[in-house]
A and B are shown apart, each in its own frame.
Chain A
Amino acid sequence: MFLRPRHLFQVALLVAPAIGQEARVDFAAEVRPLLSDRCFPCHGPGLADPAAGLRLDQRSSAVDELGFAAIVPGDAEASELFSRLQHADPERRMPPVSSKLELEEHEVALLRRWIQEGAPYGEHWSFTRPERAARPAVDGNEWVRDELDRFILGGLESRGLTPAPEAAPATLLRRVYLDLTGLPPTLFELDAFLADDRPGRLERTVDQLLGSDAHAEHLTAHWMDVARYADTFGYQSDVDTHLWPWRDWVIDSFRENLPYDRFLTEQLAGDLLPDADESSRLATAFNRLHRQTNEGGSVEEEFRVEYVCDRVETMAGAFLGLTVGCARCHDHKFDPITQRDYFGLFALFDDIDESGLYSHFTNATPTPTLELPTEVQARRTVELEQKVAAAMTSARGESIPWREVLTTNFENAGEEGSSVELRGGAQLVEHEAGRSIEMDGENSVVFPGVGVFRRADPFRIKLDLRSPEAFERAVVLHRTKSWTDSGSRGYQLLIDQGRLMFALVHFWPGDAAAVRTLAPLPLDQWTTVELRYDGSSLAAGMEIWLDGEPAPLEVIRDHLTRTIRGGSIEHLTIGSRFRDRGFKGGAVRSITVMDLAPEIPHATNTLRAARAVLDDHRDRIRQIMTMRESPALPAAQRTAHVLGRGLYSDRREAVEPATPAFLPALLEGPVTSRLDLARWLTHPDHPLTARVHVDRLWRLTMGQGLVPSPEDLGSQSRPPVQAQLLDTLARDLIESGWDSRALLRRMVLSATYRQAADHPESLAADPNNDLLGRASTRRFAAEVIRDAALQAAGLLVERRGGPPVRPYQPPGLWQEKSGKVYRAGSGDDLRRRSLYTFWRRTSPPPAMTMFDAPAREICRVDRPATTTPLQALVLWNDPQFVEASLALAKRAVDLAPRRDEPNSGDRQRVEFLVRSLASRAPSTSELEAMTALLAAQREAYRGDLNAAHQLASFSLERAAHPDAQAEEPEPLDDGSAVETAATAVVASALLGLPDVVQRR
């Protein structure tokens, strides 16, 4: 049912010189990709033991290192490699049958020619510094508008081709609007442009577009795929992430034309910059856009490792144009990137205090986080902090009168009337030394209503306990819901590595204060443990006393910034916890809980109150996940290891942070941080960064990139047909101070850009348009198709930034997957740009995925542009497009309400519709066919007035809220209904025109 592509290997036809031509074989373009694909699996990099000791990625190995010569330069017949390609014995023929790889005859011939020419090797095209190419000499100088045109013209002339003529002004205007802003020009803008007869009208338009919000939004929409931005975490629970302030950061940076090196650096390492500020810290959320899970029972470290890997792979995909994921598990078979290289990068991104699981029971933002206070909030924070400071001064030295709120030796525990509950079969046991409750790891002692503390509340808890062993981990006492399932929200006393650890937690580990005894807890003896906390939210305000003496402590965490309550916390509990390791074999025999007496002196009371107000205030400040290098991390976590087969559980040798060894080091000294990585990436000699970005900008504006495989500039990639152009523009970009906008401007004002799409000569000689001898046509991205329809219909609500919106989508799609209900917005929210559409990874907007939008689960640098019948259904029947057709129809009818004269009103309507949607006048045949359709529909609707009214009164609002009590629309008179409905059918037909949905 679907169209399939037909042309294949046309690239090869272009790259390979035509038969009879004398051009030498190009190793980088032709031979290396072939060797890499068919031979490197056994004779390439990354193999502990290459077959027959032969490595074909290294000329030294291939030509002379062995006892025999796999390749004898200049003599194919004497070369073992060549003879093996055609060996009569299938057992000896290469590639071996078992590889399921084959060589075509023309490929064998190519290798033969290459050997005959001396088997020259060369550096891979993208792994060396891009150099400015000599200015190509061309005949058609008058065509050239920009230096870049010389390269294009040179390429065309070398094949005896000519560029396409310049596109019609209206076509060009439409193209530049859509390429730069993702929106078509309005009719007003179109007419104004066509009427403008001063020189430089395109330049003026381009400058205006480049400075527009719409342009920034359009560039941002593309960056969302690269950065795998979504509004939910992904995986199965797929909870909201609230990351949109980062998306707005991207919009702002495009609006301000932030230099690309800065754009890159802030996203990778904005927290580490010497001049780091809120904006640059916000930018680092880029590294936290990966999916996260909270599925019950998941191994925390397994997913933490996944996240770090995702950061590495996204950085490589976005900035290096390399796919490095393979090297996570093994040395890369094709590219020279090794597993050590991979984990060297891993070490750079493994520098934050994060959990591998986000919280199921609370809505804590996974740490580390950045606070994004409003101005009012920021001022208030300062005020409240001053009040706390003043109260602290007054309270200093005051002795705190403690009040016992509970003290028990469990005598009547579990009995009726007792405030102590015994659960899971726990019971008081009498023995020689007295009475105690023996814990089995699943049972518990529970104190309902006791110990409900805020982090501003000083408290003390004294507990007599006996531990049977030096637990690696055991929950002794807590007031929390659970471990990772709630991020340990609350407070807790654990045995950790045999030591007592006291923690106050908002979200473990990144938002918590925790101290641990230096000495192990004595075993098999009764110990009186007392936890003391002063309400300061600081580790310094936490003490653990053992048998009446303060125990020496180490600080494990000291970053508690938010509430320790909420999230289904139950009661103060001893002995066990949901999905955690209990105090198995331990025993307790008494507990005392103390808080501040009600009659406490004024100053302490004031301090507690001041802290509580400040804490409540901070809890209301918006937070977002960002990067914050954590110097406090235990050393074990800071040391990255190679992970065998990429598995979290298979730690091998330790690795230092490093950039990949196969790329030039560029920096003096070691690479120790993400900031160093950013400096390396933006070094003017870096081989990849500028090439990748130039190609991205070219792809965005020209409809197709220079690099054939933007997701892979590695060894398997063919060099661009216009490699010299790419490299020259890369140098231009770097030397301009990474000025993306300046480069975009050059591109869209070039003669290359201005060509028409129709150019039969180019189409015949160069169907893939590698030589850019005409404008590329390509179906628009999903966002553009919807936004352009809204714009043409006058419905688009242009408002920059803010939380995501929920436009129409068919009901039930979320619910049937996860039980969550999608509540469509209304009014403006139904008609904002698609950039702002709420993006749920496990159920993305269907009308967008049908047009090839990815789910944004992983970094994607390019989208396919498939054509399927489902897309026709979207354009016909998605209520958003029905509304657009109807809105267009109403405008057309208003414009030409009467069809007096012989159908001149109808012609006017069709002209209006085609011009609105395609920015051009209809062709004669279009005009005829569409006016005929309009007439036929008019007749049909006159015969079925009910149908006319149904269509003419269609309401997106009602479609989005079928159950809501909607106001009845103003009834239309029959004549208006017929005219509107009939015209809407014409609009609907036109919505799918290639000139509407394709770049022209």
Chain B
Amino acid sequence: MSKHDPDLPPSALPNLGRRTLLKGASMGLAGAALARVGGAQDQRAAHHPPRAKRVIHLFMSGGPSQLDLWDPKPLLRERNGEELPASVRQGQRLTGMSGNQASLPLAGSLFEFKQHGQSGTWASELLPHTAGIVDDLCVVRTMVTDAINHDPAATFLLTGSEIAGRPSAGAWTSYGLGSLNPDLPEFCVMVTQGKGGQPLYERLWGSGFLSAQHAGVQFRSGEDPVLFLNDPPGIDRATRRRMLDALKGAGRSAAKTAQAELAFRMQLSVPEVADLSNEPDSTFELYGEDARRPGSFAANCLIARRLIERDVRFVQLIHQGWDQHGNLPGAIRTQCRETDQASAALVTDLKRRGLLDDTLVVWGGEFGRTCYSQGALTPTNYGRDHHPRCASLWMAGGGVRPGTTFGETDEFGYNVARDPVHVHDLNATVLHLLGIDHERLTYRHQGRRYRLTDVHGSVVEPLIG
């Protein structure tokens, strides 16, 4: 590596607080970077001892209905069909999809809720597998967001801002903490294939104003798990090796070919992660047979575990299809069938392998859903519109308090009654668990310091075990 790489602006440095940074610099940040290139672990100095080293975010795109999964509201059943009281709505805005409805009838869930585990955590019948691991979960019933439509809300959840152009949480993590395994990308993204639903956009895993090196790298099912990974037909490993050696012979220093060497190694390490052929049958019993189908959520969960085993810093899974404006009872069954077992298996698997202690798993969508029906309410059917004022989410491992349910919504499941957790609070808490003070992980751009949490957010201490 050249000592004076002209490509890299000084502002590209992670700013973990100037003291840390300057110490790092005086010790030779170049040394650290070289170490990364050389394959050694590069654990940047954190602000405080981390509880989690890695994160898996299971993003349920579309906004799962908390009222049918995690937050039972008997009152909605009792008053099924009655108009949502104005005193509950308090004039808050609705979307244009149900906001112009002539009536807003309360819709009780068609699904049975029970308490599970020693913790007595409530979960609905739609989640039999996840219900089996509730003692490992910290369920938050009071997630609050600002946005009421998918694009702004998903962008807000995953980048801390509704405005485009900001780095995603995974990119911030990569920027702040760097890599634990130089042979794999620091931030991997997997989308369940063949789902459809609310469209996705690269900004959800983008690097925003951070450099492209921090952007999420998509792992895809198929021949090229990472774009352009495979050599074209007629070029084999030996050829690439000879190519690299020739470049060295041509007078290119090791530093100049370092990226190419990394690419060469990724060509092996990535397919190795994505190759499930050596997983025993017991794995597929745990994750479900669906895990044998490339691109399924279950297969992605399994690859997520394999990435985490290899110390990938941040893994984001995206599963579309939770946007049930109508026909919720039927559609949510499908969604749960696709995700319940594998989500639970992932937590269980990490736990068995001793990885759950320092791996944080987060499950949730961009917002919750309304307690009233969008469209006609019938005895067997209803729909629910977007609802930013409360949603449920769960976390596991990585230092969160297991077997807890946090926060309370009102009896209509409309407003937060106690302990709201805003998106900024969630992000502050996730960074905190990673050993980062969210107010000090900053990047100077456009004349100001930017943060994942903007100028907001507090660590939610009760969520931490």
How far is B239's CA from A952's CA once the two chains are assembled, in angstroms?
15
Q: Residue B276 at the A interface, CB < 8 A?
A: no
Q: Which residues of B contact A442 (CB under 8 A)?
A: 101-103
Interface set, chain A 920-958, CB cutoff 8 A to B: 923, 925-926, 928-930, 932-933, 936-937, 940, 947-952, 954
Q: Which residues of A contact B5 (CB under 8 A)?
A: 3, 5-6, 867
For the residues of A in contact with B, the DSSP-based class is loop
Q: Which residue of A lies closest to B249 (CB)?
A: A929
CB distance from A339 to the nearest CB of B (A): 15
Select which of A580, A868, A989 is within 8 A of B247 by beta carbon.
A989
Select which of B102, B193, B211 is within 8 A of A440 by beta carbon.
B102
Task: Report the stretch among B66-74, B341-349, B395-403, B445-453 that lies at the interface.
Answer: B445-453
- Residue of A442, A926, A949, A989 most packed against chain B (CB within 10 A): A989
Q: Which residues of B contact A186 (CB under 8 A)?
A: none
- Residue of B202, B220, B242 most packed against chain A (CB within 10 A): B202
Select which of A104, A844, A879 is within 8 A of B202 by beta carbon.
A844
Q: Which residues of B contact A948 (CB under 8 A)?
A: 234
Q: Are B164 and A3 in contact (CB under 8 A)?
A: no
Q: Are B246 and A989 in contact (CB under 8 A)?
A: yes
Q: Are B228 and A810 in contact (CB under 8 A)?
A: yes
Q: Are B447 and A717 in contact (CB under 8 A)?
A: yes
Known: A1-B179, A3-B33. A879 touches B232 (CB 8 A): yes
Q: Which residue of A lies closest to B93 (CB)?
A: A299
CB distance from B349 to the nearest CB of A (A): 25
Q: Are B102 and A8 in contact (CB under 8 A)?
A: no
Which A-B residue pairs are the 9 nearest by beta carbons?
A951-B234, A441-B102, A5-B8, A297-B95, A929-B249, A712-B447, A842-B201, A818-B199, A950-B234
Interface set, chain B 30-64, CB cutoff 8 A to A: 30, 32-33, 36-37
Q: Residue B290 at the A interface, CB < 8 A?
A: no
Q: Which residues of A contact B250 (CB under 8 A)?
A: 923, 925-926, 928-930
Q: Are B151 and A876 in contact (CB under 8 A)?
A: no
Q: Are A866 and B164 in contact (CB under 8 A)?
A: no
Q: Which residues of B contact A440 (CB under 8 A)?
A: 102
Select which of A2, A576, A950 is within 8 A of B213 by beta carbon.
A2
Q: Mark A222-239, 1 if CB is under 8 A from B, else 0.
A: 000000000000111110
Q: Which residue of A lies closest to B248 (CB)?
A: A929
How far is B100's CA from A580's CA once the two chains are assembled, in angstroms?
5
Q: Residue A91 at the B interface, CB < 8 A?
A: no
Q: Are A297 and B243 in contact (CB under 8 A)?
A: no
How far is B5's CA from A763's CA once the two chains are assembled, in angstroms?
10
Q: Which residues of A contact B203 (CB under 8 A)?
A: 842, 855, 857
Q: Residue A179 at the B interface, CB < 8 A?
A: no
Q: Which residues of A contact B386 (CB under 8 A)?
A: 297
Q: Residue B327 at the A interface, CB < 8 A?
A: no
Q: Residue A903 at the B interface, CB < 8 A?
A: no
Q: How large is the interface on B (under 10, 10 to 19, 20 to 34, 35 or more residues)?
A: 35 or more
How far is B201's CA from A237's CA once the two chains are assembled, in angstroms?
10
Q: Which residues of B contact A954 (CB under 8 A)?
A: 232-234
Q: Residue A846 at the B interface, CB < 8 A?
A: yes
Q: Mark B259-278, 1 if CB is under 8 A from A, else 0.
A: 11011101100000000000
Q: Which residues of A contact B10 (CB under 8 A)?
A: 5, 7-11, 768
Q: Are B95 and A777 in contact (CB under 8 A)?
A: no
For the residues of B in contact with A, the DSSP-based class is loop
Interface set, chain A 721-780, CB cutoff 8 A to B: 763, 767-769, 776-779
How far is B248's CA from A326's CA once the two chains are assembled, in angstroms?
49
CB distance from A239 to the nearest CB of B (A): 11
Q: Residue A198 at the B interface, CB < 8 A?
A: no
Q: Residue B184 at the A interface, CB < 8 A?
A: yes
17 residue pairs of the A-B complex, CB under 8 angstroms, read A3-B258, A4-B33, A5-B5, A10-B10, A100-B439, A102-B18, A299-B95, A817-B191, A842-B200, A855-B164, A866-B211, A869-B259, A870-B227, A874-B228, A929-B246, A940-B238, A992-B260
Task: Report the stretch among B21-29, B136-144, B355-363, B417-425 that lies at the interface.
Answer: B21-29
How far is B147's CA from A138's CA once the two chains are assembled, in angstroms?
60
How far is B8's CA from A852's CA once the two chains are assembled, in angstroms?
12
Q: Are B36 and A994 in contact (CB under 8 A)?
A: no
Q: Which residue of B lies closest to A817 (CB)?
A: B200
Q: Are B212 and A873 in contact (CB under 8 A)?
A: no
Known: A1-B266, A8-B13, A866-B211. A876 touches B202 (CB 8 A): no
How far is B179's CA from A228's CA once the two chains are assembled, in angstroms?
32
Q: Residue B353 at the A interface, CB < 8 A?
A: no
Q: Residue A584 at the B interface, CB < 8 A?
A: yes
Q: Residue A709 at the B interface, CB < 8 A?
A: yes
Q: Which residue of A lies closest to B196 (CB)?
A: A819
CB distance from B7 to the nearest CB of A (A): 4
- Residue of A717, A767, A844, A865 most packed against chain B (CB within 10 A): A865
Q: Mark A767-805, 1 if CB is under 8 A from B, else 0.
A: 111000000111100000000000000000000000000
Q: Which residues of B contact A94 (CB under 8 A)?
A: none
Q: Residue A323 at the B interface, CB < 8 A?
A: yes
Known: A876-B263, A925-B250, A988-B243. A100 touches B100 (CB 8 A): no
Q: Are B263 and A851 in contact (CB under 8 A)?
A: no
Known: A6-B29, A877-B229, A981-B234. A778 touches B7 (CB 8 A): yes
How far is B228's CA from A704's CA once the two chains are assembled, in angstroms?
30
Q: Which residues of A contact B234 (CB under 8 A)?
A: 947-952, 954, 981
Known: A4-B36, A816-B191, A819-B199. A951 touches B149 (CB 8 A): no
How far is B5's CA from A849's CA once the two chains are assembled, in angstroms?
21
CB distance from B16 to the nearest CB of A (A): 11
Which A residues form the contact surface with B (CB < 8 A)? 1-11, 37, 100, 102, 104, 234-238, 291, 293, 295-300, 323, 325-326, 333-335, 440-442, 483-484, 576, 579-582, 584, 649, 704, 709, 711-712, 714-717, 763, 767-769, 776-779, 810, 812, 816-819, 841-844, 846-847, 849-852, 854-855, 857-858, 860, 864-874, 876-879, 882, 923, 925-926, 928-930, 932-933, 936-937, 940, 947-952, 954, 981, 985-986, 988-989, 992-994, 998
Q: Which residues of B contact A717 (CB under 8 A)?
A: 447
How far is B235's CA from A937's CA once the two chains are assembled, in angstroms?
10
Interface set, chain B 352-408, CB cutoff 8 A to A: 385-386
Q: Are B263 and A873 in contact (CB under 8 A)?
A: yes
Known: A1-B185, A1-B186. A6 touches B266 (CB 8 A): no
Interface set, chain B 241-256, CB cutoff 8 A to A: 242-243, 246-252, 256
Q: Residue B334 at the A interface, CB < 8 A?
A: no
Q: Which residues of B contact A2 (CB under 8 A)?
A: 36, 179, 186, 213, 259
Q: Which residues of B contact A712 (CB under 8 A)?
A: 446-447
How far is B406's CA from A777's CA once the two chains are assembled, in angstroms?
54
How far is B4's CA from A104's CA once the two chains are assembled, in angstroms?
25
Known: A9-B10, A817-B200. A926 touches B263 (CB 8 A): no
Q: Are A3 and B8 in contact (CB under 8 A)?
A: yes
Q: Which residues of B contact A580 (CB under 8 A)?
A: 100
How far is B364's CA from A591's CA once the two chains are assembled, in angstroms?
52
Q: Which residues of B contact A855 (CB under 8 A)?
A: 164-165, 202-203, 206
- Residue of B10, B150, B231, B239 most packed against chain A (CB within 10 A): B239
How far is B4's CA from A763's CA once the two chains are assembled, in angstroms?
8
Besides A810-B227, A816-B193, A864-B8, 20 new A-B residue pairs in contact (Cβ under 8 A), listed by A number = A236-B199, A296-B97, A299-B95, A440-B102, A441-B102, A580-B100, A715-B447, A812-B222, A816-B191, A842-B202, A846-B227, A849-B202, A852-B211, A868-B259, A870-B226, A876-B263, A925-B249, A937-B242, A954-B233, A985-B243
Q: Are A940 and B239 in contact (CB under 8 A)?
A: yes
- Residue of B11, B164, B201, B447 most packed against chain A (CB within 10 A): B447
Select which of B7, B199, B267 is within 8 A of A867 by beta carbon.
B7
Q: Residue B9 at the A interface, CB < 8 A?
A: yes
Q: Residue B170 at the A interface, CB < 8 A?
A: no
Q: Which residues of A contact B150 (CB under 8 A)?
A: 236, 295
Q: Which residues of B contact A940 (CB under 8 A)?
A: 238-239, 242
Known: A323-B448, A878-B228. A582 touches B102 (CB 8 A): yes
Known: A871-B259, A879-B232, A925-B251. A5 touches B9 (CB 8 A): yes
